[in-house]
């Protein structure tokens, strides 16, 4: 359990991803240890609530890209599928837990990091936290349930906006969107998260989304990937134009698959949508553009 810590105090179990050198990126070992820690906390009668956290500067920045590149290059797509299924099982357990589960986000929660928070009952973020689903920029899609839980939490339009653009948003914007339940100062986040997990406090009412977010939600809900450029040319909203510009840099194949999966979220049960995420993995990871983008990203990060 060297990559995940479990501490229990005053009825609250705190599970911490302890891989700060990689900003807590997830690989099969991390997910396996998270699953063990969560099972222990869930089964412990002393535990009234569970807090998920990350060590170091980040909550979790997503899946380990080196893991993906190695397995693409060896042709072992089944290992990628098994890893993703392992992640699905963990997040399903988190979502269905009878005890309150609170994500305590003090830094970046990107990709699978944001997907973990979507499975939690509550998300508490510090002012310096950030959130995003940047996978389409790497030629893939949010495969840890992001294409299914984001539409259910935010609505189809804002889920498409986040996933298509890959935009990283602040804690305050994540609160307005619906990804975060409470934003607190950094020095208050531990205490507030533990109180919330122990059901000893409540979150503030979320403010209205505001004009810009409503414009984005309406545009992306009504517009398909194929029609984004033409629809943006007719739009009078600067926020829409910026979002479509970001989307235009993403591989069309990844956007098409992400759109299909998001649309399915509005038409099927969560379990069925998650099964569809798994079914598309081998195809998207076998695309040459996906390998090129993932390898380029991994190379830049190592240098």
Start-to-end C-alpha separation, the chain: 29
C-alpha closest to that of 101 among 47, 44, 28: 47
For the residues 275-291, what does the mean pLDDT come to?
98
Q: What is the mean pLDDT of the chain?
A: 96
Give the 3-state secondary structure of residue 147: helix
**Residue 160 pLDDT class (50, 70, 90 cuts):** very high
Summarised one tens digit per residue, pLDDT across range 53-107 is 999 999 999 999 999 999 999 999 999 999 999 999 999 999 999 999 999 999 9
What's the structural domain count of the chain?
A: 1
For the residues 255-269, what does the mean pLDDT come to?
96
pTM above 0.85, yes or no: yes
Enter the tokens of residue 90.
Answer: 């963990």
**Residue where the block lists tokens 């076998």:** 286
Range of the domain at 207: 4-302
Q: From the candidates 39, 78, 135, 277, give the one annotated as an active-site residue.
A: 135
The pLDDT value recorded for residue 38 is 98
Q: Would the pLDDT of 250 be above 90?
A: yes
The pLDDT value recorded for residue 90 is 98
Q: From the candidates 39, 73, 78, 115, give the one annotated as an active-site residue.
A: 115
Task: Please count the residues of the chain.
Answer: 303
Q: Would the pLDDT of 158 be above 70?
A: yes
| Range with lowest mean pLDDT among 83-87, 258-262, 294-298, 299-303 | 299-303
Query: Can you spell out the DSSP letters for 100-162?
Result: -EEEEESSEEETHHHHHHHHSSEEEEETT-EEE--GGGGTS--TTTHHHHHHHHH-HHHHHHH
**Residue 301 pLDDT class (50, 70, 90 cuts):** confident
Query: Can you spell out the DSSP letters for 67-103?
Result: HHHHHHHHT-HHHHHHHHHHHHHHHHHHHH-SS-EEE
Q: Is 188 a catalytic residue?
A: no
Q: Is 115 a catalytic residue?
A: yes
| CATH code, domain with 54 | 3.90.226.10
C-alpha closest to that of 69 among 296, 300, 301, 303: 296
**Nearest 5°: phi and psi at 6?**
-125, 120
């Amino acid at each position: 359990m060297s990559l995940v810590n479990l501490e229990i105090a005053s009825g609250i179990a705190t599970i911490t991803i302890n891989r700060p050198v990689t900003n807590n990126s997830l690989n099969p070992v991390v997910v396996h240890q998270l699953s063990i820690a969560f099972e222990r906390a869930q089964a412990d009668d002393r535990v009234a609530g569970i807090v998920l956290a990350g060590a170091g500067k980040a909550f979790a920045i997503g899946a380990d890209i080196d893991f993906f590149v190695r397995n693409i290059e060896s042709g072992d797509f089944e290992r990628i599928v098994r890893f993703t299924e392992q992640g699905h099982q963990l997040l399903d357990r988190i979502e269905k837990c009878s005890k309150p589960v609170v994500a305590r986000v003090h830094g970046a929660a990107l990709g699978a990091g944001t997907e973990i928070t979507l499975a939690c009952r509550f998300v508490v973020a510090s002012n310096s936290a950030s959130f995003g689903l940047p996978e389409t920029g790497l030629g893939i899609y949010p495969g840890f349930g992001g294409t299914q839980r984001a539409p259910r939490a935010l609505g189809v339009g804002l889920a498409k906006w986040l996933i298509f653009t890959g935009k990283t948003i602040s804690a305050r914007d994540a609160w307005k969107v619906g990804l975060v339940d409470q934003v607190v100062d950094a020095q208050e986040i531990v205490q507030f998260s533990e109180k919330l997990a122990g059901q000893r406090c409540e979150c503030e009412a979320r403010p209205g989304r505001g004009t810009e977010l409503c414009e984005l939600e309406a545009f992306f809900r009504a517009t398909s990937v194929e029609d984004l450029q033409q629809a943006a040319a007719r739009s009078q909203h600067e926020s829409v134009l910026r979002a479509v510009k970001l989307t235009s840099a993403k591989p069309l194949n990844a956007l098409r698959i992400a759109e299909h999966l998001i649309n399915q979220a509005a038409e099927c049960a969560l379990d069925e949508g998650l099964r569809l995420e798994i079914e598309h993995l081998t195809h998207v990871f076998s695309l040459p553009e996906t390998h090129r983008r993932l390898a380029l990203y991994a190379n830049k990060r190592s240098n």
